[in-house]
């Protein structure tokens, strides 16, 4: 390891410890900084830390524009810290990699499409039945609860209360813990999964609720790859892309549609849905009002009728 790489590595670890001591998770950012140190070491680069060094590192990765902007932002703040110890450290320009604000529109599955997606799970690994059962149960839970996919794969066995039908979701997107009730049909599906899971792995390798085909926790990558296979078997690869997160959108849109059908006060109920979904503000939940053509049409028709009645 070069002298500069060793210096950079020491300062990176100190910086990571500092940010974590302030209450930040900082796990992904720590990974970026450690990868930067390895990049400097492999390239045998010398001090000081320069703009070109940071740009070359960021561009060495593929991915979307937002990913590059995020990595560059992590380095920018680290460079500010590093400048305290090496005055020759160059200042990074904040807007070298502008973020894309375009959010891909969600794909809201119909009831038949969701059923096809779940049915297709049995086809992904015929020789390993638990893999298909895991995907089917997980997809059903995402669709029926509105949880984020990351929250589901992080569930431990002790987080799932099958007696009362309540899930403990720890460290949500906003680093909070919350209790999420599930429907009795979801509760029954989870019980069925537990029986199959425990038969396949009577002595699991960890306390994860959802297991991979190897008996350890199903990873985010495992979910992503499995979901892609299921989507293909279900014939849902044509047209608008389908992501696991779209099932969260579907849950919200379905709930809002039901409230409109019941002629409930949707604006008054939005804070309740926001609390259930774990949003920081109910205005974030209002985004789902534009989630589907059917929902928009329903809301427009109701507004017209309510206006006419007035």
Looking only at the bridges linking them, the beta strands covering 160-161 and 166-169 are antiparallel
Catalytic residue among 39, 193, 276, 288: 288
245 is catalytic: yes
H/E element, 11: helix 3-21
Burial class for 98, CB neighbours closer than 10 Å (0-12, 13-18, 19+): exposed
Nearest to 46 by CA among 92, 90, 1, 3: 3
85 is catalytic: no
Catalytic residue among 173, 183, 214, 232: 173
Tell me, what DSSP letter sits at residue 91? P
Catalytic residue among 11, 72, 248, 260: 248
Catalytic residue among 72, 131, 148, 255: 148
DSSP assignments along 120-173, one per residue: GGGGS-TT-HHHHHHHHHHHHHHHHH---HHHHHT-BGGGEETTTTEEEE-S-T
The C-alpha atoms of residue 61 and residue 297 are separated, in whole angstroms, by: 43
248 is catalytic: yes
What Rg, from alpha-carbon coordinates, does the chain have?
24
Nearest to 141 by CA among 192, 216, 206: 192
Per 3-state DSSP, the chain is made up of helix, strand and coil in percentages (nearest 5) of 60, 5, 35
Catalytic residue among 34, 107, 243, 245: 245
Known catalytic residues? 148, 173, 245, 248, 279, 288
């Amino acid at each position: 390891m070069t002298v500069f790489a060793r210096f950079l590595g020491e300062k990176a670890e100190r910086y990571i410890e500092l940010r974590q001591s302030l209450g930040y998770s900082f796990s992904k950012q720590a990974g970026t900084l450690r990868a930067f140190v390895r990049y400097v070491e492999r390239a045998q680069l010398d001090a000081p830390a320069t703009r070109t060094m940071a740009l070359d590192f960021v561009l060495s990765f593929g991915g979307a524009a937002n990913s590059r902007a995020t990595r560059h932002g992590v380095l920018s703040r680290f460079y500010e810290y590093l400048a305290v110890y090496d005055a020759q450290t160059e200042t990074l320009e904040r807007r070298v990699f502008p973020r894309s604000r375009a959010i891909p529109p969600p794909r809201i599955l119909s009831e038949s499409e969701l059923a096809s997606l779940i049915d297709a799970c049995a086809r992904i690994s015929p020789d390993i039945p638990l893999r298909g059962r895991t995907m089917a149960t997980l997809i059903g839970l995402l669709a029926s609860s509105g949880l984020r996919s990351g929250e589901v794969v992080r569930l431990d066995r002790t987080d799932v209360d099958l007696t009362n039908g309540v899930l403990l979701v720890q460290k949500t997107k906003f680093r909070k813990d919350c209790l999420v009730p599930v429907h009795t049909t979801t509760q029954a599906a989870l019980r069925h999964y537990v029986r199959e899971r425990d038969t396949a792995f009577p002595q699991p390798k960890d306390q994860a609720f959802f297991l991979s085909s190897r008996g350890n926790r199903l990873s985010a990558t495992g979910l992503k790859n499995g979901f892609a296979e299921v989507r293909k078997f279900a014939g849902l690869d044509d047209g608008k892309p389908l992501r696991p997160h779209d099932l969260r959108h579907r849950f919200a849109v379905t709930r809002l549609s039901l409230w409109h059908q019941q002629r409930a006060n949707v604006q008054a109920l939005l804070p309740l849905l926001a609390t259930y979904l774990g949003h920081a503000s109910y205005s974030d939940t209002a985004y789902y009002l534009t989630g589907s053509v059917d929902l928009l049409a329903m809301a427009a028709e109701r507004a017209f009728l309510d206006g006419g009645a007035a």
